[in-house]
Structure 1
Amino acid sequence: MRKFGYARVSTSQQSLKLQKQALEAEGAKPSRIFSDVGSRSNMDREGLNLLRVKVEEGDLVLVTRLDRLGSDTADMIKLIKEFDKAGIAIRFIKEGLSTEGTMGKMVVTILSAVADAERERILERTNEGRIDAMANGVAFGRKRSVDRVKLLELHKGKMGATDIAKELGIGRSTVYSILKEE
C-alpha cells in the first residue's frame, strides 16, 4: 500500500507547510504529496486531478482534516465515493476517520446521509427565501434588454424582421418571438 497526501488552503496567504509536514509524519513521501491553493468549490483542481491520476487500487490518501479534501460536504462525499469505488482508502488525520475496512464503509454511508440532508436543507431554505421574496414583489429572471416599444414602432412602420433585428442589434428569432407575444 502506497501512501499519498493531499493538502489544500483557501487563499495564497495561507501556508501548506504544516499540512505537508503532518502528511510526511504519517508516512507520505514528499513526492507523493499533492496540493492546491484556492477556495474553488468545484472538484476540478490541479493538485487533486494529479492525485486522482497517480493513485491506484490499494493505495491510501492522507488528508489532514475533512474540510481540506472538499470545500463543501457534497464535493467531499463525491470524492470519497470516487476513491472508494476505485479501491482507494482515505484517512483524515485530525478527526481520526478512515474509509478503510468495514467501519470505513459505514463512515462513507453516514457522510453520504449527512450530505443528502445538507442538500435538502439548502434547497428548503432557498425555496423559502424565493417564495418570501416573490411575496414581497421581487422579480426573478434576467431583465429584458430589448427595447420592445421601439421594436413595435418599427414593425408598425412596416419595417421587416431582418431590418428590425439589424437596427436593434438582436437576432431575427428574437424579433419574431416578441411580435408573437404582442
Structure 2
Amino acid sequence: MRLFGYARVSTSQQSLDIQLKTLKDAGVKVSRIFSDKGSGSNTNRKGLELLRIKVEDGDVILVKKLDRLGRDTADMIHLIKEFEEQGVAVKFLDDGISTEGEMGKMVVTILSAVAQAERHRILERTNEGRQEAKLKGIRFGRKRTIDRSLVLSMYSQDIGATEIANQLKIARSTVYKIIDDMKKDNTA
C-alpha cells in the first residue's frame, strides 16, 4: 500500500501550506503529493490528472477535507467510483471518513451532497446581500480613480475625447463612457 496525497485551493491567492503539512504529517512522501489551485467544480485539474495516472490497486489517497477533492456531488461520486474501480481508497483526514467499505461510500455520498447544498445556500445568501446592498445604493467594483468632473469640464470646453484621453493619460473609451454616462443621467 502506497500513500498519496491531494490538496487543492480555490484561487491562486490561497495557500496550500496547511493541507500539505497535514498530508506530510500523515506519512505521505512529498513526491506523492499532488495539488491544484482552481475551482473544485472542474475535474480537469492538472494535479488531479497526474494523481489519477500514478495510483494503482491497493493505494490510498489522503485528502485533508471532503471539499478539497471536489465541490459538486456528482463529480465527487464519479471520482470516488473511478478510484474504487482502480482499487484505490480515498481517506478524508479532517472528516475521519474513508471510502473503504460500503458504509464509507455511503457517508461520503451524503456528506458531499450536504456540502453542495451548503454551497448553494451560501451563494443564495451572498446574492441576497448584494441585491440589498444595491438597493441601498452601494456600488460594487473598484473605486473610480479618474476625476469625472474634470473629464466633463474639459468636454464642455469643446476639447475632443482624444485630447482629453492624452492629457489625462486614460483610454479614449473611458472618456466616451464618462460622457455617455453624463448624457444618460441628464435624460433620466
What TM-score does the superposition give when structure 2 sets the normalisation length?
A: 0.61
Q: Which secondary structure does the structure 2 equivalent of 1:154 belong to?
A: helix
1:50 to partner: Cα distance: 3.9
CA-to-aligned-CA distance 1:53-93 (integer Å, 9 cap, x gap) = 4236x564331x6517718x627985663353474443317
Contact 1:162 1:172 survives alignment (8 Å): yes
1:133 to partner: Cα distance: 4.3
Which residue does 2:89 correspond to in 1?
90
Once the two structures are overlaid, the 10-residue window that deviates more, 111-120 or 165-174, is: 111-120
1:161 to partner: Cα distance: 1.0
Q: What amino acid is the match of 2:90?
A: R
Contact 1:165 1:171 survives alignment (8 Å): yes
1:140 to partner: Cα distance: 2.4
List gaps (5 residues or longer) in structure 2: 8-15, 183-188
1:163 to partner: Cα distance: 0.9
Partners of 1:12 and 1:112 in 2: how far apart?
A: 19
Partners of 2:49 and 2:160 in 1: how far apart?
A: 53
CA-to-aligned-CA distance 1:85-104 (integer Å, 9 cap, x gap) = 47444331763521677973
| 2:162 is the counterpart of 1:165 | no
Contact 1:165 1:175 survives alignment (8 Å): yes
What TM-score does the superposition give when structure 1 sets the normalisation length?
A: 0.62
CA-to-aligned-CA distance 1:14-71 (integer Å, 9 cap, x gap) = 4654301xx6xxxxxx5973266x9x67569986564234236x564331x6517718
Q: What amino acid is the match of 1:91?
A: V
Q: 1:123 to 1:4 in 2, by over 3 A?
A: same
Match runs of 1:142-157 below 5 Å: 142-157=142-157
Contact 1:90 1:98 survives alignment (8 Å): yes
User: Which residue, 59, 67, 75 being the options, matches 2:65?
Assistant: 67
Measured on the aligned residues, the alpha-carbon RMSD in Å equals 4.3
Q: 1:3 to 1:78 in 2, by over 3 A?
A: farther
Partners of 1:31 and 1:11 in 2: how far apart?
A: 14
User: Which residue, 6, 9, 19 being the options, matches 2:26?
Assistant: 19
List gaps (5 residues or longer) in structure 1: 24-29
Q: 1:61 to 1:138 in 2, by over 3 A?
A: same
